[in-house]
Every structure is written in structure tokens, then in C-alpha cells.
Structure 1
């Protein structure tokens, strides 16, 4: 005979409705009661019927994660692995599943998200990017679907989001190079439509302005979050009559491409070109030389974003915009052993 909710409730000495609330991760159930109920479920071998529960509660216990475009970035950039790890940690803890979705262009993305929402396949969504004039964000905002944005919305002030202070992070990275005596500092950027790119470019320019150093359009190169993008950027930026002697790079994987390109061009790092990038993925310690990088708390970004969307689904009040602290991790790629070029 199969074990029922009533059997679990009887063993713990609570009402069956309390067991149901524990299974649903209701916020009003105490941690002590939840622990006792879950232990009884384990001891009795009770497993909730997810399909039946979904029909009754009209929930799927599934969160959709909308990947950035192009989706290949997820497979080639370790930042997204760490981000998804944080998302999964919170969802697993709350007995939710994850469904990944995306599209190769703006139209496909909107079609995919519309289908997920209208078919009731997800209870909420996480968007792992933030772009200007994004029809997906507009659709979700208008439909009042629980969703959380990684980054800040460029179009709506009230969109729930998790982000870093990217202006300050880039300001700190650029100031570090300035403190090393650098005067010609370039910027290897991401796609200009992204809020993160705009904010980091702003922080970079702000640091240069405050230090009285020049900003040159020719020292800023736009690309994608791919190693190849950083590699190609070096052929352009270092061919100039007066190339920069230091670079702020939008992302660690892009910086790996920068390192490769500079090495092939016979530049020494950091003696000829100093580098600081972002995300502080594990491989930054293994490059030659080790890469200085701004740790943006990638795991915490994913964990907090999924926590926020679950609270929205449960109609628990949240802080609409949460900022995850950053810290600059200084390694050999930005520390000069000889004076920089004049």
C-alpha cells in the first residue's frame, strides 16, 4: 500500500495541510516543522505526485531560464556555468526544476517565451541578460509574469533584477591600472546594446576623466563574449600609431583571447600591456601570467536571482533591485615590474 500525506502527517503529529505546505515550501511554515515533515517523508518513503499536485495547485514547479543570444556563449564562457550553478542550487533546494530556453534571434526568443508562458509550462522566468528595447522584457512586464532580470532594465524602472554596480566595478578596475602609472588605457567591450556593457564603459570613462587621462574612440573595441572576439580585437587596437599600454577587458574569456593575440604580436604582459578583466573565473589563475579580474559574485548572482523569482511566485515581498558586491582580485597581469610606457 502506498504512503499518503495522511501517513506523514500522523507520524509527525500535524495536519495533512501542513505537510502539503511543507512540500510547497510555503514561507509561513517554520524551519523546525519543515525539517520534521521532510524527515518523516524520507523515513516513510513518501514521494509527492508532482503531476497531480500541479493539477491541483495550478503550478508547474518549473522555472524557465532564458539564455543570452547567441546561445553558444553559454557553452563557451565559464561565467554562465557558474551562474547556472547558483541558479540550480536555489531551485533544487526549493524542489523546483529548471527549463532552459532561447532563440537565435529576437523574434525566436519572443516566440519561445510567449509559448512557455501561454502554455503554462513555467511558473516564472529568469533572463540571463539585459538589453535595450527588448520585446521579451516588454512582454513579460505587460503580462505580469513573475520574472527576474540579470542586470538592470534600460526600459523599466520597476523590473525585479539582480546586478552588480558595474559602473563602480569598471571604475575600480581602471583606477587600479591608473595607480600602476598607466596613462594610455583601452577598453575591450561587449555588445553595445547590453546594459552591462554600457555601465562598464561609463565607469571606465569616469575613471579616465577624473584622472585627467585621454579617452579615445579608437581605444575602444566592441565584440562578443567569446575568446575569438578578444583575439581579433588585438589585431586592430595594437596596429594603431599610438596603441594603449593597458586594457580593461569586459570578460575573462574575452581576456584569454586578448592574451593570445598579444602574445602572437610579441607583446609582453604586463611590461608592454597590462590587463584587468571581469568575472574572476577559476581559469584566471592558470593563465600566463595570472589574470587580474573583478570578482562579480557570479554564483551569488544566480542564487539570488532564482531566490527572488521564487519569492515572487509565493507572493512574498522582495527588494526590486539587489546589488551583489564586487571585489578586484589583483594578479600579475596588471602589476608592473618596469615603468609603463610614457
Structure 2
């Protein structure tokens, strides 16, 4: 039989092999469906998906991308029951009752899944995350070291664990720097450039009253929106105030001045999440939650109160 197959140059059908093994050959990825947002052009998602895709290909898996509407019922377990996926990565997960219930069902029924950049500390859900709390602490300490004494924080929604982490790091850094926490200096954005742009007027008013001299934004998109918006009020980052973002996206290098930010290893996070699911026999995990370190990248936007050099 093998000799005949060799003579005929027979190649087994991947579909037939998967059917025989009752496997789909798909690594599923849940993505949030955000109206008017080009998801794949967003640095955060493109980097994570790049890492996931590279690792999935290394293990002979295809990616099955599935978009979830905000009000759509979470039926993650059904993807396994209908054999659409062999494992599942969830991006954009939010700390909400329906989400918790869907993830708890996956865990209870033993389906392989992993969260990326979101975690539930009191739950056993596996996750690959970054140390956002430590990163936020580094940024605010840097701003304080540059001479800032009234540091504002533009955060994202608290349904994301990284938003809560950054808020905790911000507060801890203020305390370590001997600076008071003032809730009036906390601004709520949604991680979009537009939300940063829309907050610029309020921040400009606070700056003119002498209430803000430095700003930390929870991601680069919001920071860029703030920079653009404050420019319309005649205020320049690196001259009139210090500004830092988070992600180290390509846009952070394209602003004028270039943006101080935190480098977050999104690509590696995606790779490790896929590896955790597809190469369980090759890797060991001491904890359900793996946190990766982040790195402060100092550029010209925080030179307002001191001298620093670009690390590029």
C-alpha cells in the first residue's frame, strides 16, 4: 500500500485527516467588532494577530477569525461542540457577567482557551498579559523625575484589566514621588485617537489653571489625539507640557515631537498564547497567568522639564 502511494505521488488530504481525527485544524480567535474602526490597521490587534498567526502556522494550524458584537451572546463553547475550532484565543475580553459566564463554561468543560491582554485574577482562566501596573509606575516616575508635579492620567474603560493596572501604577508612582492623588486629574477615554482629541479642551483648561503639567495616556492612540488637540490650543508637547503614551506603536515615532511611551510585547504575547494552546507538551506553565515585562522608551515629548535622549 505504501509503495503504491509512493509510485502515485499520493498526498493525504488534510481535510480527511482532520475529519478522521475529529479535529478542525483551526485555532479560533475571537475579536471585538468595533464600528468604524479598521481593526487590522490598529497596532495592538495587528501585532497580536501576527504573533498568533506565526505560531499557529508553525504547528500546522489555520486561524479562524470570528468577530463578536458588543451585544452578541457569548457562545464560545459552541465553537468546540460544533468542531469549528480545536483551541480558542480571546482578544478584547471585558469584565462583564456574560463574558465571565462564557469563559467559566469553557473552563468547566475543559476546552483549551487563552485570554490575551486581559485577566480575571480571582478566576483560573489562562491568560498571557503584560505588566501594565509596573509600566504605568515607570512612566509616572519618569514624568515626576522630569519635574512634573501635576500629572494627569487618561485611562481606558475599567472593564479591561490593563486599565485597572495602569490606574494602580499611576497611584503608586504618585505616592512614591511624594505627589498627591487628585481624582480631577483622571480622564476617561476609550483607547481611540478620537477620545484623546475630544479630551484636549478639558485638559487645556486644566493646564491654563496650572492644574496639569504632565500627561500619561493609556495608549499611544489617545496620546496622539491629545497632542493634536492641545496643539489647536497653542500647547506643544515637550515645550509646554510633558506627554507619554503606551504601546510603542509606529505612530509614536511619527509624531512631532516623537512620543515617549512604553514598549509592550504584543507580538510575543500572541505567540505565547498560541504556543500555550498548541504545544502543551513542549511548554510548562507555573501559573495560569503569564505576565511579560514592558520597557520605557524615552523620547522628546517628555523633555519639557529636563534633558533626555531618544532611545531609538
Same fold flag (TM > 0.5): yes
Q: How far apart in 2 are the matches of 1:282 and 1:47?
A: 43
Distance 1:284 1:316, change over 3 A: closer
Judge conservation of contact 1:66–1:100 (CA < 8 Å) in 2.
Answer: yes
How many matched pairs? 300
SS class of match (2:166) = helix
Distance 1:303 1:46, change over 3 A: farther
In the superposition, the TM-score normalised over structure 2's length comes to 0.87
SS class of match (2:68) = coil
Q: How far apart in 1 are the matches of 2:264 and 2:292?
A: 7
Judge conservation of contact 1:88–1:98 (CA < 8 Å) in 2.
Answer: yes
Q: How far apart in 1 are the matches of 2:3 and 2:266?
A: 42
Judge conservation of contact 1:278–1:294 (CA < 8 Å) in 2.
Answer: yes
RMSD: 2.6
Deviation of 1:54 (Å): 1.2
In the superposition, the TM-score normalised over structure 1's length comes to 0.80
Distance 1:7 1:195, change over 3 A: farther
Distance 1:270 1:105, change over 3 A: same
Deviation of 1:201 (Å): 0.7
Matches within 5 A, 1:64-103: 64-68=28-32, 70=34, 72=37, 74-75=39-40, 77-103=42-68
Q: How far apart in 1 are the matches of 2:251 and 2:49?
A: 17
Which residue does 2:79 correspond to in 1? 116
- The structure whose residues are more often helix, as a share, is 1
* Post-superposition CA distance 1:210-238 (Å, at most 9, x none): 21212222211112121101111112232
Distance 1:233 1:166, change over 3 A: same
Matched, 1:333 2:301: yes
Q: How far apart in 2 are the matches of 1:248 and 1:255?
A: 8
Distance 1:76 1:227, change over 3 A: farther
**Which of 14, 30, 40 is the aligned partner of 1:50?**
14
Q: How far apart in 2 are the matches of 1:316 and 1:333?
A: 41
Matches within 5 A, 1:1-342: 6=2, 47-68=11-32, 70=34, 72=37, 74-75=39-40, 77-106=42-71, 108-111=72-75, 113-133=76-96, 134=99, 135-154=101-120, 156-240=122-206, 241-312=209-280, 317-319=284-286, 320-336=288-304
**Which residues of structure 1 form unaligned runs of 5+?**
12-43
Deviation of 1:76 (Å): 5.1
Judge conservation of contact 1:109–1:136 (CA < 8 Å) in 2.
Answer: no
Larger Rg computed on CA atoms: 1
